[in-house]
Structure 1
Amino acid sequence: MTWQSPWRLLLLLGVAALAVAYVVAQRRRSRYAVRFTNLRLLDRVAPERPAWRRHVPAGLFLAMLALLVVGFARPTADVRVPRERATVVVAVDVSTSMLANDVDPDRLEAAKAAAHRFVDALPDEFNVGLVAFAGSAAVLVPPSTDRSALHTGIRRLAEGSTGVQGTAIGEAINTSLVAVKNIDSRAAKDPPPARIVLLSDGANTSGRDPMAAASDAVQAKVPVHTISFGTPGGYVDRGGRPIRVPVDGQTLKAVADETGGGYHEAGTSEELRAVYEDIGTSVGYRTERQDISARFIGFGLLLALAAAAGSMRWFSRLP
């Protein structure tokens, strides 16, 4: 245990001085009683009572002062803090095909809106991460409970933000699995309950085969829920030349079926809720340096109440 304001512990010298003064005062009182020669009158003025009761309120009061001083010095200690390990990784397709406006206002903006809604519906204690993918995949926001950082990351998603052209669904799944494994030091041997939510138009064009990545997800026991955005007639305009980018729901559905996830088409909030309802929980711990002054202050107040109660009970007055 350490203190943030150790110099305040000097006040304990004042508590010690009070203790010494109390002992001295009690001894003087005893010498005065011995000099009192009229013993019958002494019995009436100072009737006999158990000696230990006289000292209990004073002792509790001094202990209270000591605890309050220690709390005032702001002690800190390493504390094991429970942490929910349940993890959801949201993977969003930012390839060029996601600019098709067959979904209002376009596929990418619709996917971002769905991601915002999904994140808002998740329990606050869940860890949520964000992966962006096109021809490659990258973790934009590592899984955590910081919803502000996550929403900021979703808002910053833009076409081509990974720097590599194409659509690599398999890479997105693998990158999401790595993010889950890095949630804490236990994850490699004791994986947390996790889900991947992948939002895309499903037209895989590069990177690892999605079904091979799906097999990795099965082995890791991480279901992949997929949401498709787009229609068979979607296209993007490149230099005045329309390029057809039909949605490929079959790939996304095959991935979801293989991993035990669900497949949705531009999913609603109600459909997305099923993604996390059965995810389960797994509580882990992390060590944090925390201010524990409240413990000492709380015990000090309890001693103050005990001193007051004892004094009222035995002497009909407050100490």
Structure 2
Amino acid sequence: MPEWHSIQFVWPRLLWLLATLPLWLGLYIAWQARGVQRAWPSAGKAPLAPGVGFWRITRHVPVLLILSGLAGLLLAMARPQAILLLPSRIDTVMLAIDSSGSMRAGDVQPSRIEAAQAAAKSFVLGQPAQVKLGVVSVAGAAALVQAPTDQRDLVLQAIDQLSLQPGSALGSGMVIALHAMLPGSGLDVRGLIDGEARPQAAHGAPLGGATPAPTTPASGAVPRQPNSPPKVPPGSNSAAAIVLLSDGQSNAGPDPLKMAQVAADLGVRVYTVGVGSVQGTVLKAQGMQMRVKLDEASLKKIAEITRAEYFSADNRQDLLKIYQSLSNKIVLKKHRRTEITALCALLGMLLLSWGCVWTWWRHGRII
């Protein structure tokens, strides 16, 4: 629907043609007053029979329809424009799925990764046919598992083939997803991934052990400064979206919050889905024990920066509901100034044709 207060005209001077409508209406009234009724026979001055008054009124309806149709055509000549509320078309959605070792945890049955894979498949199958989907595996180094495609079988295979690896680089996963969706954006992938020096966040502290010291760049090394593509308002890119499914703990690669800001500068929303429980669980691996828990704060911040939403789930059924909800939420709506000349012309032609057909049906002629 157009916002009527926003209507503007490309050629506003042609609106003066509407001033001819009262002239035509006045001529019609004068014609009727003088008794010159070529199109409609006179009902005479005799007392009106029941129902005659109604038909005397309706005989003027075709003329009103014709005048309304002419008004629509004259408006169309001025080329009106209005802000329309239109459904946005999502062209590409990237699924960035955490495949780090902590996703082996069983606080979501049968495991975090299996529950995430099942929910991702449900999401893929629920998308419209024209939407392209891609998959990024996020471990110690993020990798593009499936480039954006409209072939659902390839996307499902990519989700099934995800394998758990040490480490979690959520920031790298977002960069890889952005590059896959927006290859022409000028995004410096290597500069963003390699040029960010950040402390290593603990991805589950070993029980009874010391936390490893953060790694630092070699002495004298100068971090590479990434190139910055042009910035747009956060959330303004309605043709692309990222769905990041993770437990929120990142211990490798660039800072996820800084990479979320990169996504925001490109207008891409990053919807985050937290997998796991806040209390966490003890995970045994390679003779060590560590507690892994959901880091909701990081995931909420990523969604907030990119003007998206955060969802939390601690069981498989909730994850399925979240993905079903995301299927609707990422189909955004936006306002866009659009020329509605064709709409006015169509409405005018319909009214004009209706009036002419009505007159022809009742009297066998238009005039």
For 1:90, the aligned partner's letter is L
Q: Write out per-residue CA displacement over residues 268-303 of structure 1, whole angstroms, 9 at most, x where no aligned residue.
A: 44433443434359xxxxxxxxxxxxxxxxxxxxxx
Instruction: Give the alignment partner of residue 216 of structure 1, picking from 252, 255, 262.
Output: 262
Instruction: Give the alignment partner of residue 250 of structure 2, picking from 174, 199, 204.
Output: 204
Matched, 1:271 2:271: no
Q: Output the CA distance in 2 between the equivalents of 1:236 and 1:107.
A: 12
Number of the residue aligned with 2:201: none
Number of the residue aligned with 1:172: 173
Q: Output the CA distance in 2 between the equivalents of 1:183 and 1:152.
A: 27
Q: 1:243: how far off?
A: 1.5
TM-aligned CA distance change 1:135 to 1:100, over 3 Å? same
Number of the residue aligned with 1:154: 159
Number of the residue aligned with 1:249: 296
User: Aligned ranges for residues 100-249 of structure 1 at < 5 Å?
Assistant: 100-160=105-165, 165-182=166-183, 193-231=239-277, 232-249=279-296
Q: Output the CA distance in 2 between the equivalents of 1:115 and 1:145.
A: 15
Work out whether residues 143 and 183 of structure 1, in 8 Å CA contact, stay in contact via their aligned partners in 2. no
Say which SS state the counterpart of residue 114 (structure 1) adopts: helix
Work out whether residues 262 and 275 of structure 1, in 8 Å CA contact, stay in contact via their aligned partners in 2. no
For 2:136, the aligned partner's letter is V
Q: 1:242: how far off?
A: 2.4
For 1:151, the aligned partner's letter is L
User: Aligned ranges for residues 239-318 of structure 1 at < 5 Å?
Assistant: 239-266=286-313, 267-277=318-328, 278-279=330-331
Q: Output the CA distance in 1 between the equivalents of 2:303 and 2:93.
A: 15
Say which SS state the counterpart of residue 198 (structure 1) adopts: strand
Work out whether residues 89 and 143 of structure 1, in 8 Å CA contact, stay in contact via their aligned partners in 2. yes
TM-aligned CA distance change 1:184 to 1:144, over 3 Å? farther
Q: Write out per-residue CA displacement over residues 180-218 of structure 1, whole angstroms, 9 at most, x where no aligned residue.
A: 113899xx9997711100111111111111110011111
Work out whether residues 119 and 323 of structure 2, in 8 Å CA contact, stay in contact via their aligned partners in 1. no
| Unpaired stretches in structure 2, ≥5 consecutive residues | 1-88, 187-228, 334-367
The number of equivalent residue pairs is: 193
TM-aligned CA distance change 1:104 to 1:181, over 3 Å? same
For 2:309, the aligned partner's letter is G
For 2:180, the aligned partner's letter is A
For 1:215, the aligned partner's letter is Q
Query: TM-score normalized by structure 2?
Result: 0.49
Q: 1:257: how far off?
A: 1.2
Q: Write out per-residue CA displacement over residues 24-77 of structure 1, whole angstroms, 9 at most, x where no aligned residue.
A: xxxxxxxxxxxxxxxxxxxxxxxxxxxxxxxxxxxxxxxxxxxxxxxxxxxxxx
Percent identical pairs in the alignment equals: 33
For 2:130, the aligned partner's letter is E
Q: Output the CA distance in 2 between the equivalents of 1:192 and 1:230.
A: 29
Say which SS state the counterpart of residue 98 (structure 1) adopts: helix
Say which SS state the counterpart of residue 129 (structure 2) adopts: coil
Say which SS state the counterpart of residue 147 (structure 2) adopts: strand
Work out whether residues 101 and 235 of structure 1, in 8 Å CA contact, stay in contact via their aligned partners in 2. no
**Greater helix fraction, Structure 1 or Structure 2:** 1
RMSD: 2.7
Q: Output the CA distance in 1 between the equivalents of 2:123 and 2:110.
A: 19
Q: 1:94: how far off?
A: 0.7
Q: 1:85: how far off?
A: 6.8
TM-aligned CA distance change 1:107 to 1:269, over 3 Å? closer
Work out whether residues 238 and 332 of structure 2, in 8 Å CA contact, stay in contact via their aligned partners in 1. no
Say which SS state the counterpart of residue 257 (structure 2) adopts: helix
Q: Output the CA distance in 2 between the equivalents of 1:264 and 1:141.
A: 24
Q: Output the CA distance in 2 between the equivalents of 1:183 and 1:116.
A: 28
Structure number, greater radius of gyration: 1
User: Aligned ranges for residues 66-105 of structure 1 at < 5 Å?
Assistant: 86-105=91-110
Query: TM-score normalized by structure 1?
Result: 0.56
| Unpaired stretches in structure 1, ≥5 consecutive residues | 1-83, 282-319
Q: Output the CA distance in 2 between the equivalents of 1:237 and 1:119.
A: 32
Q: Output the CA distance in 1 between the equivalents of 2:138 and 2:322.
A: 23
Say which SS state the counterpart of residue 272 (structure 2) adopts: strand
Q: Output the CA distance in 2 between the equivalents of 1:150 and 1:251.
A: 27
